[in-house]
């Protein structure tokens, strides 16, 4: 299968994500340039973290207008798999592919640290390689990760099991203290109703090699590969 990593100006986790998919996980991976209209036949699109267009306005607010994003939007509407990491998550919200918005972290500071998230739903294309309730140790690095949505939306995404990850402590307990950025309902990762688009604030590509302190992030990439390679085999 083939991954495509989006290169927007200022997407500075593009090379990290590319490195992990290509050299650690070992799958064909290409960069997708923001001025192009070509998705190069990829099976899944990854929107990496960073500061697209400098994020001088609301995070991700400019990125949604880039030519490539129109293709990504169409790809998602056709059922293509799209994973948004950190700034990528923010862009998915701005694109309207996921509901809700991001506010500044509750302490009004940028936060870069290892945190824990719990898999709330493992019957998704992004988490099927993991177990329900499994705790993953993955770093975050963001200023605007305080997830917000109107109560009605929170009710809906809860009912549809769209909440994929919640912030938790090392033992898997969801607490206010573990919810470092103040997200509503402790939401760290969220998918659309159809289940082909997911955004998450933690950086799985930073937790995919033992040398860097954790390999827990691989669960997400491996889940996608399971689904997409299985689909590929079926199609053949």
Partner 1 sequence: MTMIDEKTIKDHGLTLEEYASIVRLIGKAPNLTELGIFSVMWSEHCAYKSSRVYLKGLPTKGKHVIQGPGENAGILDIGDGLAVVFKIESHNHPSFIEPYQGAATGVGGILRDIFTMGARPIAVLNSLRFGPLDNPGNRAIMEGVVSGIAGYGNSIGIPTVGGEIAFEEGYSLNPLVNVFALGLVEKDKIFYAKAEGTGNPVLYVGAKTGRDGIHGATMASAEFGKDTEHKRPNVQVGDPFKEKLLLEACLEVMSTDMIVGIQDMGAAGLTCSTTEMAAKAGAGMEIDLDLVPQREEGMTPYEIMLSESQERMLICAKKEKVGEVQAIFAKWDLDAVVIGHVTEGGRLKVKSKGEDVVDIPVDAVVNLCPVYRRPIKTPEFLRKVSKLPEIPLPADLNEVFFKVISSPTIADKEWIFRQYDHMIQINTALLPGADAAVLRIKGSKKALAMSLDGNSLYTYLDPRQGARIAVSEACRNLACVGARPIGVTNCLNFGNPEKPEVMWQFKEAVGGMAEACRAFEIPVTGGNVSFYNDTEGASIHPTPVLGIVGIIEDIGKALRPGFRTAGDAVILLGENKEELGGSEYLKICAGLQKGVPPGIDLAVERKVHELCLEAITEGLLRSAHDVSDGGLAVCLAECAFHSGKRLGCSIDLGDRIRTDALLFGESQSRIVVTAGPRRAGKVLALARKRKVKARVIGRTGGRDIIVRVRRREVVRIPVGDAFKAWKESIPSRYKIKE
Minimal distance, residue 116 CB to partner 1, in Å:
14
- Which of 205, 204, 198 is CA-nearest to residue 93? 198
Q: Indicate whether 51 belongs to the interface with partner 1 (CB under 8 A).
A: yes
Query: Hey, what are 6's tokens?
Result: 């989006």
Out of 113, 152, 177, 234, the residue judged to bind partner 1 by CB under 8 A: 113
Asked if residue 112 binds partner 1 (CB under 8 A), the reply is yes
Q: Does the active-site annotation cover 205? A: yes
Q: How many helices (H) and strands (E) does the chain have?
A: 5, 11
Q: Looking at the chain, how many residues does it have?
A: 236
CB of 154 to partner 1, least distance (A): 27
Of positions 32, 42, 46, 50, contacts partner 1 by CB under 8 A: 50
C-alpha R_g of the chain: 16
Q: Measuring CA to CA, how many Å separate 93 from each of 63, 83, 113?
A: 11, 12, 23
Please check whether residue 159 is in contact with residue 114, taking contact to mean a CB–CB distance below 8 angstroms.
no
Set 71, 94, 120, 205: catalytic member: 205
Q: Active-site residue among 86, 120, 142, 168? A: 86
- In whole angstroms, give the CA distance from residue 198 to residue 189: 7
Contact flag: residue 55 with partner 1 (CB under 8 A):
yes
Choice from 96, 151, 177, 211 touching partner 1 (CB under 8 A): 211
Least distance (Å) from partner 1 to the CB of residue 45?
Answer: 20
CB of 209 to partner 1, least distance (A): 7
**Does residue 90 contact residue 201 with C-beta atoms inside 8 Å?**
no
Contact window for partner 1 (CB under 8 A) among 7-15, 75-83, 182-190, 226-234? 7-15
By CB under 8 A, is residue 204 in contact with partner 1?
A: no
203 is catalytic: yes
3 binds partner 1 (CB under 8 A): no
Q: Are 63 and 91 in contact (CB under 8 A)?
A: yes
Pairing of strands 101-103, 81-85: unpaired
What residues contact 102, with CB distance under 8 A and at least 6 apart?
Answer: 59, 89, 90, 93, 144, 145, 146, 147, 148
Q: Which x/- pattern, by CB under 8 A, does the window 115-154 give for partner 1?
A: ------------------------x-x-x-----------
**Residue ranges that bind partner 1, judged by CB under 8 A:** 9-10, 12-13, 15-16, 19-20, 23, 50-51, 53-56, 109-113, 139, 141, 143, 203, 205-206, 209, 211-213
Q: Which residues are catalytic?
A: 86, 203, 205
């Amino acid at each position: 299968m083939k991954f495509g990593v989006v290169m927007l100006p200022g997407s500075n986790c593009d090379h990290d994500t590319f490195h992990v998919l290509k050299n650690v996980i070992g799958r064909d991976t290409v960069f997708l340039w923001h001025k192009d209209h070509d998705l190069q036949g990829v099976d899944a699109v990854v929107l990496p973290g960073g500061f697209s267009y400098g994020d001088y306005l609301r995070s991700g607010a400019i990125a949604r207008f880039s030519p490539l994003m129109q293709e990504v939007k169409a790809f998602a509407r056709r059922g293509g798999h799209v994973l948004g990491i950190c700034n990528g998550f923010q862009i998915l919200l701005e694109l309207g592919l996921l509901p809700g918005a991001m506010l500044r972290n509750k302490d009004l500071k940028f936060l870069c640290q290892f945190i824990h998230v719990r898999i709330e739903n493992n019957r998704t294309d992004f988490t099927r390689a993991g177990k329900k309730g499994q705790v993953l140790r993955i770093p975050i690095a963001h200023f605007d990760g305080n997830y917000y949505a109107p109560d009605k939306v929170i009710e809906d995404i809860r009912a549809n099991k769209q909440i994929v990850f919640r912030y938790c402590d090392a033992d898997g307990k969801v607490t206010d203290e573990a919810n470092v950025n103040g997200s509503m309902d402790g939401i760290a990762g969220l998918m659309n109703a159809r289940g082909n688009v997911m955004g998450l604030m933690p950086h799985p590509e930073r937790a995919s090699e033992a040398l860097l302190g954790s390999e827990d992030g691989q669960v997400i990439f491996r889940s996608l590969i399971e689904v997409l390679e299985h689909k590929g085999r079926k199609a053949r």
